Amino acid sequence: MCFFKGLLLIRFDVYVVFGRENLSGKDIDYMEQKKCTPTSIGGQAVIEGIMMKGPTCMATAIRKADGSILVDKKESKSFIKKLKLNKIPILRGFLAFFESMFTGVKCLMFSAKECDLEEDTEQMSKFEKWLMEKFGDKLFDIFMYISVFVSLLLGIGLFMILPKLTVEWVSSLAGTQVHEGISVLIEGCIRMILFVCYMLLISRMKDIQRVFQYHGAEHKTIFAYEYGDELTVENVKKHTRFHPRCGTSFLVLVMIVSIIVFFFFVPPADNVWMKILWRIALLPVVAGISYELIKFAGKCNNAFTRMLSKPGVWLQHLTTKEPDDSMIEVAIEALKAVLPSDSSESTKW
C-alpha cells in the first residue's frame, strides 16, 4: 500500500513539494558564532528518506523495510542552466520554483515506490494491481504529473481563492464594500493563518511526522558538514534542526511578497473572479521576486536580511521534528553520496 500512501502524502503535503531548500544562501545567525562555512548543499525529506543535492549530483537515500539503506545517485540536470535562463532575474526564480517542484515530486515518487516494496505487492488491491499491469513504469510518471497538478490546484484553492471569497462573504454580510488595498491585507493574514493551521493539521498525521523528523535530520546533517564535523550520528545530533537556508523561509517570503505585489498591482476589473484570476496571473511575479530576495538574503548579512529569514526559522518549529538515530544515518548516507570526490568541485558557493 506504500505507493498509494505516498501519493496521498504528496496530495496533502503541499509543504513537501514546495518546502525544499534548493536555494543557496549564507547561513546568517550561526555563521557569526562559529567557523561555519555555508555550502550550496540542499535537500528535501521524502518518505522514509532524504534527498540531498550537491554541486553536480543528487542522491536519494531510503530506509528499506528490511532495515538496509538504499542510495540512488544521479547527475543533477537543470534545464534553466542548460538554456542559460539563469541570467534573467525574476523569470529564473519562477522557473526554478517549477523545476524544484518536479524534481521534488520525482524523489517523493521514488521513495514511495522503494520504501517497502515487499509489503507493497502483498497488500496491493485489485485496482492497484490492474493499474500497475496496464501502465507499468509509466504509472509513476503519470502520477507525478497528476500530483503536481493537484498540489497546484490545492495550493491555489486553499491559499488564493478561499481567502478572497472569505473577505467578499464577510463584507457582503456586513453590507459594505471593502477597499481593494485593505482586502489584500486581510487576505494576506487569512493566508498565513490557513498555512499555519494546515501545517498543524498535517503534522498530526503519523506519516507526515516521520517526514518532518527526516527534515530535521537533513538540517542537522547539513549543519554538521558546514561546521566541518566528521559525519557521525553523535556529531550530527549536537546540531540544531533549525536551518536559516530552509525552503520553509521561501514559503513565508512568498506570502509576504504576495501582499505587497497584490497591493500595488490593482486588478483591471471589479469582479470577484476577475480579481482571483488576476492574483493567480501575478503568482509567477511573486515567486520570482521572492527568489531574488532569498538569494539576496544569502549574499548579505545585515538587519534587513536577518529579518527576512526569521519567520522561516520560526515556522520550522512546525516543519521539522527531532529525528532518531536511524534517520540521521540515512541523512549521512545521502549527504556523503553528493560530496565532490575531488577538490576542484567545491560545495562552497
- Residues making contact with Zn ion (CB under 5 A): 21, 246
Q: Which is nearer to Zn ion, 113 or 220 (CB)?
A: 220
Q: Which is nearer to Zn ion, 44 or 183 (CB)?
A: 44
Q: Which is nearer to Zn ion, 183 or 249 (CB)?
A: 249
Query: Which of 241, 300, 284 lies closest to 96 in space, CA to CA?
Result: 284
129-134-138-141 Cα dihedral, nearest 10 degrees: -60
Q: How far is the CB of 57 from Zn ion (least distance, A)?
A: 20
Q: How far is the CB of 241 from Zn ion (least distance, A)?
A: 9
- Kindly give the residue spans of alpha helices, DSSP state H, lying in 29-137: 29-33, 79-82, 91-114, 117-123, 126-135
How buried is 247 (Cβ within 10 angstroms: 0-12 exposed, 13-18 middle, 19+ buried)?
buried
Residues linked to residue 49 through DSSP beta bridges, in sequence order: 46, 62
Q: Which is nearer to Zn ion, 103 or 183 (CB)?
A: 103
Q: Which is nearer to Zn ion, 21 or 187 (CB)?
A: 21
Q: How far is the CB of 249 from Zn ion (least distance, A)?
A: 8
DSSP symbols for 187-204:
HHHHHHHHHHHHHHHHTT
- End-to-end Cα spacing for the chain: 41
117 to 9, 71, 222: CA distances (angstroms): 17, 15, 29
- Across the beta sheet with 57-63, the strand order is 42-46, 49-53, 57-63, 69-75
Q: Which is nearer to Zn ion, 246 or 313 (CB)?
A: 246
Q: Which is nearer to Zn ion, 246 or 330 (CB)?
A: 246
Q: 36 in the Ramachandran plot: left (φ > 0), alpha (ψ -120 to 50) or beta?
A: beta
Q: How far is the CB of 316 from Zn ion (least distance, A)?
A: 7
Q: How far is the CB of 246 from Zn ion (least distance, A)?
A: 3
Residue facing Zn ion at closest CB distance: 246
Q: Which is nearer to Zn ion, 6 or 244 (CB)?
A: 244
Q: How far is the CB of 216 from Zn ion (least distance, A)?
A: 9
162 Cβ partners below 8 Å, 6+ apart? 190, 194
Query: Which of 317, 253, 291, 322 lies closest to 25 in space, CA to CA?
Result: 291
Q: How far is the CB of 41 from Zn ion (least distance, A)?
A: 12
Return the DSSP state at 137: T
The backbone torsions φ and ψ at residue 236, rounded to the nearest 5 degrees and listed phi first, read -65, -40
Q: Please answer whether residues 216 and 50 qualify as being in contact, where contact means their C-beta atoms are separated by less than 8 angstroms.
A: no
Q: How far is the CB of 272 from Zn ion (least distance, A)?
A: 36
